[in-house]
Amino acid sequence: MKNGFVSIGRRLAAFILIALLVCTAAAASAADGFRYVHDPCLNPKAMKDIVADDTAVYGFRPSETGSLKLYASADWSDPQIVEQGRLDRIAYHQSIESMYEMLRDMQAQGKTTEEIARAVSTRRNEIRLAAYADDPEELAAVKQRNLEKYGHEEGPLPDELYAQYGSWTTVMEKAFSTNAGMDACLGLYDDYFFLYAALGDVPAQITVTIPAALVCILRKNATVTAQIDSNVPNYQIAFESDDPGVASIDPNGVVTGVARGETTVRCVVTDASGTAHVSNSCTVRVQYTHLPQIVCEIVRCLKACCARAETFFRSVVQTLFFR
């Protein structure tokens, strides 16, 4: 009996060990071959705080000399350690999600950097105070400290922050307490790339993809569909044709075949100032009809005729020789 218990114990220990190894392997493989869509190496501000490291879970770790040097000694190749840091970072981002929504909305409305900085810094003060809603004593203490330091309970006002930093972009950056380097180390760089773009930390990036070629039937319509990937807010899309006498194109990318021939249509993406960032082209061939469709129709008709002819001759043979 004792040997039986020992055997069961060994099997259980082996099972637990195997389970741990499987979990560790799964965690390690989760980020295996991980690549960002937007390369953190193109963000100079982020690269002041981090270094590329192929052994790190997400390809980057804090440098020993940047603002993240306190975290440089951690094992950034350990999936479990990195995952805990990632969860903590996600919780922080979620706590100020309303500020991100405000940023996106105001960008879409074409608001200036100053207007956005004023709004998000005010919202940041509100979030800080709301965090103590369930602790009246601490809330009163925070308000008292603000009163003593700034002369009012809500915290630093936008104009005071501007006087301190001398830049509305910096005021906005401080409100978000963003750190692109830490996000890169924790697998979150793509998720908050829009924020680094809004702060001017990365160069404007726009790509436009349209079909390389298109066939349009004379006096009929076809559509050029453009796929845009951009970190530039309020971009505009324009279409143009090299030869409108062959094929015209409207602002929505709808092509109309005007005359038989071939021309090129282009999609141009510009920012709010009218500066063109990128363009792509599509070759349009205008013809009377789709030749493959004609061929298919002819083949179909021939098959139908042959089938009817076969049926006819079968009936004739049956009548003449088997009755």
The bridge status of strand 261-270 relative to strand 236-241 is antiparallel
Q: Give 231-280 pLDDT, tens digit per residue.
A: 666 678 899 999 999 999 999 999 999 999 999 999 998 876 677 777 88
pLDDT above 80 for 177? yes
pTM: 0.58
CB-based contact 282:210 (threshold 8 Å): yes
Q: Please check whether residues 189 and 263 belong to one and the same domain.
A: no
Q: Give 204-235 pLDDT, tens digit per residue.
A: 677 788 999 999 998 899 999 988 877 666 67
**Domain span at residue 35?**
26-198
Q: What is the mean pLDDT of residues 117-133?
A: 91
Residue 297 covered by a domain: no
Structurally, the chain folds into a number of domains equal to 2
Residue 318 covered by a domain: no
Q: Give 43-101 pLDDT, tens digit per residue.
A: 999 999 999 999 999 999 999 999 999 999 999 999 999 999 999 999 999 999 999 99
Q: Please check whether residues 32 and 163 belong to one and the same domain.
A: yes
Looking at every residue in the chain, the average pLDDT score rounds to 83
Q: What is the mean pLDDT of residues 164-178?
A: 90
Q: How confident is the model at residue 6, as a pLDDT?
A: 47
pLDDT above 60 for 31? no
Residue 2 covered by a domain: no
CATH number of domain containing 259:
2.60.40.1080
DSSP string, 228-283: EEESSTT-EEEEEES-TTTEEE-TT-EEEE-SSEEEEEEEEEE-TT--EEEEEEEE
Residue 55 covered by a domain: yes
Q: What is the mean pLDDT of residues 156-169?
A: 94
Q: Please check whether residues 105 and 232 belong to one and the same domain.
A: no
Torsion of CA 188, 193, 198, 204, to 10 degrees: 160
Secondary structure class of 59 (helix, strand, coil): coil
